[in-house]
Structure 1
Amino acid sequence: MIIRYPLQRRSHRAPSRRALLRGLLSAGSALALGGCAGLGATGTPYDASSLFVDPTLLVTTTRKPVKGGRTKPWFGPERATTMTVARARLVAPDESRLSLASVGLGDWRLDQIEPVQADIGDLVAQTGGGGDVLIYVHGFKQTFETAVLDAAHLSDGIKFRGRTMVFSWPSKAGLFDYAYDRDSAMWSRDDFERVLS
């Protein structure tokens, strides 16, 4: 910012510090208030991922449901007799400037799981989103919920424009349960092949 004063004769004193500071503060306040005008603005960013626009993940899992798979923790570490196909409804982080997400504290949340009786191919076709599907398969030491949220972070982080699916196999989510997790991953191999085909 440039503050100009009219040319003065040498006999006049230079502007006082107080006058100079008053001018700077009033200009700074105007700039600060102008910057606050959009702080509460919400809406979908132009480069948002498909998941941010429609926060629904497709789920295939070989985990055994807990309480019918309709309440938290939804699916446990035990192996199921059949693979479950479901939709995971998520809550996207609030992207407005006054939200917790703006300072790194807001995050994706898993809201509910809706088991469906459709074939995987039919479910993907029903949801639209083009022909692109991102299939996320978690690794060792993961709960069902952390696997779903990791898939959401990946999909949103790369601004993926198609549908996102998570394949979750039974993991005990414990540091010393690697052998069980390895066996569960191998046990789930045939179901994963079905998902891919």
Structure 2
Amino acid sequence: MRILTLILVCAALVGCGRASGVLEPIAASPPDASRVALLVATTRAPSRDPGVLFTGERESAISLTDMTVSIPPAQNRQIGQIQWPASLPPNPQTDFATLNVTPLTGSGQTQGWLKQHLPRSRRVLVYVHGFNNHFDDAVYQLAQIVHDSGADAAPVLFTWPSRGNIFEYVYDRESTISSRDALEETLRAIARDPRVGEITVMAHSMGSWLVMETLRQMSIRDGRVASKVQNVILASPDLDVDVFATQWRKIGQPRPRLTVFVSRNDKALRVSRRLAGNIDRLGQIDPMAEPYHSALEKSGVDVIDLTDLTVANSLNHSKFAENPGVVQLIGQRLLTGQTLAGAESLGERVGGFALGVGQTVGGVAGVAISAPIAIVDPSSRRAYQNQVEHLGHAVEDTVESATQ
């Protein structure tokens, strides 16, 4: 009950001082503001309110919308934060604002949008949000992630019908079930475009279940996931570990590269775990503890443990997007298809990213003791253990020499 009370208080605080109906376009933004163009695919029912656009109710057909979001100038914002307008119209000098909303109808609209917005890298990022998200939450969150990560990819939002209500967990969960075919159809439409080189699918929280189910379904249907889907990122996945293991086994070879962000102090997932019969959620596991360590050793899954990172949001459920170093790591390494094993040593891999979030790391010993980001990828797990063991032997030798 204490945890549930905390969740409700935090949810109430998040909503304080925030205007509703923020998606109605404004005329212009300042020249030093940034613009993020998004293709939005949704199975939400449309709203009559032009500032809301889509509700949390369900629709069988997929709606496509071309949207552009204005991000305030760099001197007026902090990386990792969405600056919601307190009143309307928003002030684009200080607030996120909507510049364009264009519904897309007819066949071939996905390819038409990609023709205009696909970068030279030929990459596409498909983002799937989590539980308790209104339509505007999902739109502005993806715009923030794309801008702050520096992602060189065409951003596509897939938003399923969430009522944006802390008490509607079961409804939201059922909405993800009803959206599997629509997400699969969206991924296939992108993959069919010959201009697209590769696709990264990133999901947060409950959206991770939807993504894994969709990839499993695609693999069962075709024998494998579409070859252009090369990278999958699950951030704070609200996903039963046993269900995840079954889904991963069913996805045929060659599998996409999978990276999972976890945090053992994620309070939202702690509540979800209780609701789900006290079965561990994938986003809360300790990747260095058994039985997970051995399973990860064989799985080919990269795990990034963010437990020791601090963020302003006390729920610790969105560290991947709120911490400047982590969101930039996503754009600079993971969306480009690189593993975190590309550096010469564990110290360089962890140390470089740790420095990016304000930590001082001096060599392997410092990494083993104080690195805020624990990187647990298959090729470095053994190296990590060896370095920790080597550090332990070095300490023992130092103590022994000092006592002689």
Place the TM-score, normalised by the shorter chain, in its bin. Answer: 0.5 to 0.7
Native 8 Å contact 2:36 2:147 kept in 1: no
Where does residue 153 of structure 1 map in the other structure? Answer: 144
Cα displacement (A) at 1:59: 0.5
Where does residue 88 of structure 1 map in the other structure? Answer: 67
The answer to which structure, 1 or 2, has the higher relative contact order (CA under 8 A, 6+ apart) is 1
Where does residue 57 of structure 1 map in the other structure? Answer: 38
Larger Rg: 1
Give the distance between the partners of 1:170 and 1:102, measured in 2 at CA.
30
Where does residue 32 of structure 1 map in the other structure? Answer: none
Where does residue 135 of structure 1 map in the other structure? Answer: 126
Native 8 Å contact 1:74 1:113 kept in 2: no
Where does residue 191 of structure 1 map in the other structure? Answer: 182
Cα displacement (A) at 1:163: 1.1
Cα displacement (A) at 1:102: 6.6
Pair 1:179–1:159, CA change in 2 (3 A)? same
Cα displacement (A) at 1:107: 4.0
- The one-letter code matched in structure 1 to 2:59 is A
1:75 has 2:54 as partner: yes
Where does residue 10 of structure 1 map in the other structure? Answer: none
Higher deviation after alignment, 136-145 or 86-95: 86-95
1:123 has 2:105 as partner: no
Pair 1:88–1:80, CA change in 2 (3 A)? same
Native 8 Å contact 2:163 2:172 kept in 1: yes
- The one-letter code matched in structure 1 to 2:63 is T
Q: Percent identity?
A: 28
- List structure 1 runs of 4+ shifted beyond 4 angstroms: 102-105
Give the distance between the partners of 1:81 and 1:74, measured in 2 at CA.
17
Pair 1:175–1:102, CA change in 2 (3 A)? closer
**TM superposition score normalised by structure 2:** 0.33
Q: Secondary structure at the match of 2:166?
A: coil
Native 8 Å contact 2:41 2:157 kept in 1: yes
Cα displacement (A) at 1:113: 2.1
Pair 1:82–1:101, CA change in 2 (3 A)? same
Aligned residues: 143
For residue 102 of structure 2, the aligned residue among 114, 117, 126 is 114
Cα displacement (A) at 1:90: 1.1
Native 8 Å contact 2:40 2:67 kept in 1: yes
Q: Secondary structure at the match of 2:184?
A: helix
Pair 1:155–1:64, CA change in 2 (3 A)? same
Cα displacement (A) at 1:149: 0.6
Q: Secondary structure at the match of 2:116?
A: helix
Q: CA RMSD in A?
A: 2.3
